[in-house]
Amino acid sequence: MAAKGQIKVPRLSMDAKKILTKWAHRVLRETPDFDISECATIQCGLDWGIFQKEMYGSSGWDDFMEKMHTFMKRTDEFYQSEDLEFYEVDLLNIEIERIYK
């Protein structure tokens, strides 16, 4: 539980976590010269429509994104950027980095 005045970071459902892990492993498997400093979408020719459809269909996705949007509005970065957005590919990049290390 977050301390009083502290912002609680939204959590993904187990369903969404499994989808992210599956796709992260796929990206690393299909991109042998993957550069962790670059976004996955730049380096890979994967079918992002299928990835997005799976994420949108995962349990609790709409609730997670609503909470994430609220969370982002409360961060300093949101106020320093005109169009800071949070997308499912950001989650994929985070998961790839976690596995890559």
pTM for the model stands at: 0.67
Q: SS3 of 38, please?
A: coil
Which residue in this structure is represented by tokens 């890979």? 44
Distance in Å from the first CA to the final CA of the chain = 28
**CA 76 to each of CA 1, 6, 38, 96, 97: distance values in angstroms, whole numbers, following the listed order:** 21, 13, 24, 25, 23
Handedness of CA 40, 42, 43, 46 (dihedral sign): positive
Query: Tens-digit pLDDT profile for the chain (101 aa)?
Result: 444 455 566 788 898 889 889 988 888 888 777 777 776 655 566 677 788 888 888 888 888 888 887 777 776 665 555 555 566 777 888 888 888 77
